[in-house]
């Protein structure tokens, strides 16, 4: 469970009930609180090298107000992002947040949850009679701060009453206890990000082990939530097909052992191949100077993304191999399940 080493507050955050609740809690716990003019401008963090500064930033929590209530798009997982938090305490070397957050990887928690949800309601209304999907983890792992904010529980309850609105989020965290009894009406889908033992050992740090994530997924499934898995990023290495197949078989075995007749088994899988940007490569090699991540541009295909910057992707033949592995395997091991997309 994430525990910050230092905490900053925007003074405006104290005008919201959640902000008041949090500062009271931190002061009762004896934590020192400092103030900042903006949740995007936290400076003078300790550390005399990029790796040390990166680690200290990850240990920093900023409580603020989300002022931009225009939600960005979020293809292919949803129509819009839903920004409850920003940042992730994990130390995964491949993380896409190395591009989007760059030198500001500290954790941000937004206290104006009601305003954010009111904006979501307006987006839903504007698209009627179409359904509208929102992604809660586009720039964060929101479950990491749930024990402080309760924002996910509030959001799940909010969407439970929205006929045409749906919420989804992805996580590597496992503390789901506070979500198991929340009213959700099947309108929130949680996906757990997983990978093979080699990738977890080589490139993931500061996050629960995959077996713990799968157990958390099972708990959410038993609570009636639609559950999925994000296999991301998929890396191509010697024996990769066998290891990803073993991963799927492990989940399938646990699913079958803990399923009841008639239970919902429409598990989804989102498959995302490894890709990187020039900015991400620079930041990764700065904070993980000895990383063995495959970051050779000449071995990839360059393509512009939806946010205006280019990405280095695997070649089309690699994507074809991924399709040949995942598309027939998922429905075989998970009757009723499906691969939502491979990108």
Rounded Cα gap, residues 45 and 195, in angstroms: 32
pLDDT mean over 138-153: 96
pLDDT mean over 210-227: 95
- Residue 217: which H helix or E strand, with range? helix 210-222
Q: How far is CA 272 from CA 139, 153, 324, 339, in A?
A: 16, 27, 14, 11
- Residue 147: which H helix or E strand, with range? helix 146-149
Residue 277 counted as domain residue: yes
pLDDT mean over 44-60: 90
Q: So what's the pLDDT on residue 264?
A: 58
Point out which residues pair with 73 in neighbouring strands: 80
Cis upstream peptide for 129 (omega within 30°): yes
Residue 93 counted as domain residue: yes
Residue 130 counted as domain residue: yes
pLDDT at 313 over 70: yes
CB of 226 closer than 8 Å to CB of 266 = yes
Q: What is the CATH number of the domain that holds 213?
A: 3.80.30.30
Q: Kindly report, residue by residue over 124-139, the tens digit of the pLDDT.
A: 999 999 999 999 999 9
Residue with tokens 């052992």: 257
DSSP-derived 3-state class of residue 256: helix
Q: Is residue 202 exposed (0-12), middle (13-18) or buried (19+ Cβ within 10 Å)?
A: middle
Q: Which residues contact 102 (CB under 8 A, 6 or more apart)?
A: 279, 283
* Strand ranges in 173-226 using DSSP code E only, listed in sequence order: 188-194
Q: So what's the pLDDT on residue 302?
A: 93
Q: So what's the pLDDT on residue 111?
A: 98
pLDDT mean over 297-320: 88
DSSP-derived 3-state class of residue 338: strand
Residue 215 counted as domain residue: yes
Residue 239 counted as domain residue: yes
Six token digits for residue 341: 């997309």
Name the residue range of residue 82's domain: 6-342
Q: Using alpha carbons only, give the angle 67, 146, 185 rounded to the nearest 5 degrees.
A: 95
Residue 38 CA to chain centroid, in angstroms? 23
Confidence of residue 40 (pLDDT cuts 50, 70, 90): confident
Q: How many domains does the chain have?
A: 1
Q: Kindly report, residue by residue over 247-301, the tens digit of the pLDDT.
A: 999 999 988 888 776 565 789 999 999 999 998 999 999 999 999 999 999 999 9
Rounded Cα gap, residues 116 and 114, in angstroms: 5
Spatial strand order of the sheet with 268-273 comes to: 73-74, 78-81, 132-135, 165-171, 188-194, 227-234, 268-273, 338-342
Six token digits for residue 321: 């191999």
Residue 1 counted as domain residue: no
pLDDT at 329 over 70: yes
């Amino acid at each position: 469970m994430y525990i910050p080493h230092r905490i900053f507050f925007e003074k405006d955050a104290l005008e919201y009930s959640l902000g008041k609740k949090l500062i009271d809690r931190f002061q009762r716990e004896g934590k020192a609180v400092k103030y900042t003019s903006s949740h995007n401008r936290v400076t003078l963090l300790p550390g005399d090298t990029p790796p040390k500064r990166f680690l200290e930033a990850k240990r920093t929590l900023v409580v603020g107000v989300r002022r931009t209530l225009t939600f960005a798009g979020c293809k292919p997982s949803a129509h819009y992002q839903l920004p409850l938090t920003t940042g992730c305490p994990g130390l995964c070397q491949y993380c896409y947040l190395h591009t989007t957050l760059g030198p500001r990887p500290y954790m941000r928690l937004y206290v104006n949850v009601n305003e954010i949800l009111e904006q979501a309601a307006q987006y839903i209304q504007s698209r009627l009679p179409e359904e509208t999907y929102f992604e809660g983890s586009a720039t964060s792992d929101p479950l990491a701060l749930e024990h402080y904010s309760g924002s996910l529980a509030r959001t799940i309850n909010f969407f439970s009453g929205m006929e045409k609105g749906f919420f989804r989020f992805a996580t590597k965290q496992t503390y789901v206890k506070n979500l198991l009894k929340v009213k959700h009406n099947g309108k929130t889908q949680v996906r757990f990000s997983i990978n093979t033992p080699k990738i977890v050992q080589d490139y993931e740090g500061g996050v629960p082990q995959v077996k713990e994530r799968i157990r958390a997924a099972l708990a959410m499934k038993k609570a009636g939530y639609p559950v999925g898995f994000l296999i991301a990023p998929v890396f191509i290495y010697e024996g990769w097909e066998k290891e990803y197949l073993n991963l799927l078989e492990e989940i399938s075995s646990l699913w079958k052992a803990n399923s009841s007749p008639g239970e919902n088994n429409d598990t989804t899988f989102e498959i995302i191949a490894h890709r990187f940007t020039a900015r991400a490569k620079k930041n990764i090699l700065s904070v993980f100077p000895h990383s063995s991540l495959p970051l050779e541009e000449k071995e990839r295909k360059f393509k512009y993304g939806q946010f205006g910057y280019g990405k280095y992707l695997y070649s089309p033949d690699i994507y074809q191999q991924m399709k040949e592995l995942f598309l027939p395997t998922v429905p075989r091991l998970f009757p009723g399940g499906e691969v939502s997309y491979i990108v």
